[in-house]
């Protein structure tokens, strides 16, 4: 919904600032861990999926990367139930604990040469655990922030959560660049990739300290006080919010599937073109942190013009930019050129998440928001993020051109446009408690 510019912005209470900071820190750490697998697949996939053709090992590793996304709906259901029944805080603490544990165990995992088929099996199980954790992190954190911040700033403050995710993914590239530049390719394949995963342990402890000190969101606290907690939130979602669930899934396909095509960039540039890993990772690091700062810009625009307008504009940007980027990705050489090419694509990923995910969260009333938002977003994540790098690699092989992944980007953007065309009822989160108009008692369509 659009904000009336004549209405002054409410001051931010300390609890709102703490909520936004906790959202940033938690997603930073979770997405550092989760993205690290995709960044380092080119190094460790031969150790767990040995094959005569290196491309086969890489494709298998990327398929397991996608398995983490397949598990995300399970995480959305598990942690969604915790968040809607026992409080947002409990779900946020549990999810970051699981992610830190799984990532640390990946660092300790023996290879195929050591324990045979058990090595890839254990890797898949740990990747599934990462997926279960990540299945509630983004929308869980955004839900918590939206419900804790005054209405006029709700998307801006919630945008710090996807900014944390973008920064976490970028730092995974920073760590990979430092390690690859220091150790070299052979050492990275042997043991260097483990060092990056080992960093998950202290990061997870820090996130736990931050989140364990949070109070629950005012909206959930009120629901609990009035004894309106839903016993089976998933059942209510399917009974009364099916349309919004499908809308959320369609939007999430583009919000996740289009940006995650960039994960294939790393594997292609290092594995197929033979560009040194330290150059690719350095380019990702140098462009990633400044680009992450665009997420709050998108949040501010959403508070001013509405999520749907901003989201539609970003999707149009993907349709315009993707094919030129894919054309030049096969020609770019050197850190500066890689920054320009990959950066022009990644900046759209920084702009798309705040409008898309806050829009999804507000498709569901507070009593089932944690479950509905997570489950709806994960529908699109499975069919978007999970398969994006794999589909990109397959399309390049099938078409013989780096333009092939553009077909995928166009497809997911069109699905999101169809989802946005359906009329949806929004339950606006983050309404100030002093406002007598309850967001749930006055649902209204979010205008285009």
Distance, in Å, from the CA atom of 118 to the CA atom of 110, rounded to the nearest integer, reads 9
Please give the structure tokens belonging to residue 429: 């989160």
What are the φ and ψ backbone dihedral angles of 306, each rounded to 5 degrees?
100, 145
DSSP codes, 54-71: HHHHHHHHHHHHHHHHHT
Q: For residue 293, which of 151, 446, 407, 160 has the smallest C-alpha distance?
A: 160
Distance, in Å, from the CA atom of 431 to the CA atom of 11, rounded to the nearest integer, reads 13
pLDDT one-digit tens code per residue, 312-358: 999 999 999 999 999 998 888 878 888 888 888 889 988 999 999 99
Please give the structure tokens belonging to residue 105: 């165990």
State the pLDDT at residue 65: 66
CA distances from 183 to 111, 333, 428 (A): 20, 22, 50
State the pLDDT at residue 215: 87
pLDDT one-digit tens code per residue, 24-72: 988 898 888 877 877 787 788 788 877 665 666 666 666 676 677 778 8
Q: Mean pLDDT in each 10-residue stretch from start to end of the chain (448 residues)?
A: 52 77 87 80 79 63 70 89 92 90 90 86 87 88 89 87 89 84 82 87 88 87 88 91 92 91 81 79 79 91 92 95 91 84 88 94 93 90 79 88 92 94 76 42 42
Whether the CB-CB separation of 121 and 250 falls below 8 Å is answered with no
> Please, what sign has the CA dihedral across residues 54, 56, 59, 64?
negative
Q: Which residue has the tokens 């995300």?
A: 72
Whether the CB-CB separation of 61 and 206 falls below 8 Å is answered with no
313 CB-near residues (< 8 Å, 6+ apart) = none
Please give the structure tokens belonging to residue 50: 């040995």
Cβ-based neighbour number of residue 10 at 10 Å: 15
> Please, what sign has the CA dihedral across residues 376, 377, 378, 380?
positive
Predicted TM-score (pTM) of the model is: 0.83
**DSSP character for 86?**
T
State the pLDDT at residue 73: 86
CA distances from 269 to 225, 283, 333 (A): 55, 12, 10
CATH class of 14-445: mainly alpha
Whether the CB-CB separation of 204 and 96 falls below 8 Å is answered with yes
């Amino acid at each position: 919904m659009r904000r009336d510019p004549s209405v002054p912005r409410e001051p931010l209470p300390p609890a709102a600032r703490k909520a936004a900071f906790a959202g940033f820190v938690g997603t930073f750490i979770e997405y550092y861990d989760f993205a690290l697998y995709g960044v380092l697949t080119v190094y460790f996939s031969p150790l767990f999926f040995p094959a005569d053709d290196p491309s086969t090992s890489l494709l298998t590793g990327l398929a397991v990367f996608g398995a983490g996304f397949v598990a995300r709906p399970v995480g959305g259901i598990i942690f969604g139930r915790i968040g809607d029944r026992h409080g947002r805080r409990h779900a946020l603490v549990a999810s970051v604990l699981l992610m830190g544990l799984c990532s640390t165990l990946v660092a300790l995992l023996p290879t195929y040469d050591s324990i045979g088929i058990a090595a890839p099996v254990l890797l898949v199980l740990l990747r599934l655990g990462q997926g279960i954790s990540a299945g509630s992190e983004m929308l869980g954190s955004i839900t918590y922030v939206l419900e804790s911040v005054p209405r006029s700033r709700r998307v801006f403050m919630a945008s710090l959560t996807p900014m944390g995710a973008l920064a976490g993914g970028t730092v995974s590239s920073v760590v990979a660049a430092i390690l690859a530049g220091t150790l070299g390719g052979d050492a990275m394949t042997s043991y260097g990739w483990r060092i990056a995963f080992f960093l998950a342990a202290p990061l997870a402890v820090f996130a736990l300290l931050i989140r364990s000190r949070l109070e629950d969101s005012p909206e959930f606290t009120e629901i609990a006080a009035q004894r309106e907690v839903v016993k089976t939130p998933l059942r209510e979602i399917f009974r009364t919010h099916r349309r919004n669930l499908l809308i959320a899934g369609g939007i999430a396909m583009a919000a996740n599937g289009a940006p995650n095509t960039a994960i294939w960039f790393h594997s292609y540039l290092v594995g197929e073109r033979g560009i040194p890993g330290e150059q690719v990772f350095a380019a990702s690091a140098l462009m990633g942190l400044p680009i992450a700062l665009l997420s709050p810009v998108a949040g501010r625009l959403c508070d001013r013009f509405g999520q749907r307008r901003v989201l539609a504009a970003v999707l149009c940007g993907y349709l315009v930019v993707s094919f030129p980027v894919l054309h030049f990705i096969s020609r770019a050489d050197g850190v500066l050129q890689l920054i320009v090419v990959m950066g022009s694509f990644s900046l759209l990923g920084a702009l798309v998440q705040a409008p898309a995910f806050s829009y999804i969260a507000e498709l569901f009333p507070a009593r089932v928001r944690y479950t509905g938002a997570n489950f709806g977003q994960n529908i699109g994540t499975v069919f978007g993020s999970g398969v994006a790098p794999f589909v990109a690699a397959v399309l390049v092989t099938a078409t013989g051109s780096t333009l092939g992944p553009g077909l995928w980007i166009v497809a997911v953007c069109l699905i999101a446009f169809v989802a946005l065309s359906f009329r949806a009822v929004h339950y606006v989160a983050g309404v100030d408690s002093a406002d007598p108009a309850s967001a749930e008692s006055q649902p209204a369509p979010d205008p285009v």
